[in-house]
A = this chain, B = another copy of it.
Amino acid sequence: MSQEDLKQYLRTMSERIELAMDQLVPPQDQYPEALYDAMRYSLFAGGKRLRPVLTMATVEALGGDVEAALPVASTLEMIHTYSLVHDDLPAMDDDDYRRGKLTNHKVYGEATAILAGDGLLTQAFQVLGTIDAQGREAVLLRIVGELATAAGSVGMIAGQMADMENEGMKADEERLAFIHAHKTGALLTASVRIGAIFAEASEDQLLALTSYAQKIGLAFQIVDDILDVVGEAEKLGKAVGADAAHGKSTYPVLYGLEESREMVRRLTAEAHQALQSVPLRTNRLQEIADWLVNRDV
């Protein structure tokens, strides 16, 4: 399948996810308007929609009900967006721009940004707890557990906490691996696992897909670190060298650029191997793995 095909797929899927999210978040003409306006500002600020796309592609790979999976996939993007809104706050990373647009608190003020983040986080669970379960309550409850564990205090939040403590000091290899596995890896892995659980994957399939997700999750983060050093500010929508400016340890800092690139190649190969270990219609997942490595943004 050609690169153009994947681009078209990503575009179409993003549109479907955005349409679903638009239905799932309160309208912005409802009181208190500023809250819903702020939630929607960050939710519809663009981005690759990588997490819900991974969920959808996994459901497809397993022959699951793609249409029914849309609201479930949307919850991954809500969680991801809340984490960006809170991470950008002055007390945290203190970032003014995200994807080339002003960050939430720069537009709505800190208090509203905190509440908008809280709102998006809670919205994800409201969606899972109130969509028509069609008799599959056990599946949806398991997804609640997966999502909360990945996003919560032993997952993404632990990663953000560790990353903050990492500011201005040299993290060692073990610490850096913890940060990446938790801050970005946990939710990326959950994106694939939730798709697999939704489509009622076998235990073997779930294990293989989990391995795939962990590999591309780490590769994705190393590519991010590399782009922070060698990327173009305009494409990234933020300043190049921001990690270094924050005094953060990254893969290029710890291992050098060439070794970091080699790690990405190795992880991508392992991700492909994981997919081949079980029978699945994995074309899209393979294309996504390659795209993540070769992207420039």
Contacts and interface: CB of A to CB of B under 8 A. Distances in A.
Interface string A111-136: 11011011111110110111001000
Identify whether the interface residues of A are mostly helix, strand, loop, or mixed.
helix
Interface string A143-157: 111111101111001
A239 interface: no
A133 B144 CA distance: 13
A32 to B, nearest CB: 4
A146 B121 contact: no
B34 A153 contact: no
A142 interface: yes
A157 B86 contact: no
Interface residues of A, number: 56
A92 interface: yes
Interface string A26-45: 10000110111001000000
Interface stretch (A13-21, A159-167, A207-215): A159-167
Nearest to A128: B144
A122 B26 CA distance: 21
A285 interface: no
Contacts of A169: none
A110 interface: yes
A142 B119 CA distance: 19
B153 A130 contact: no
A153 B39 contact: yes
A158 interface: yes
B178 A31 contact: yes
A140 interface: yes
Contacts of A133: 138, 141
A153 to B, nearest CB: 4
10 contacts: A82-B118, A119-B152, A121-B122, A122-B151, A122-B157, A128-B141, A129-B142, A129-B143, A129-B148, A130-B145
- Going nearest first, the 6 A-B pairs with the smallest beta carbon separation are A129-B145, A129-B144, A122-B152, A91-B110, A119-B153, A126-B148
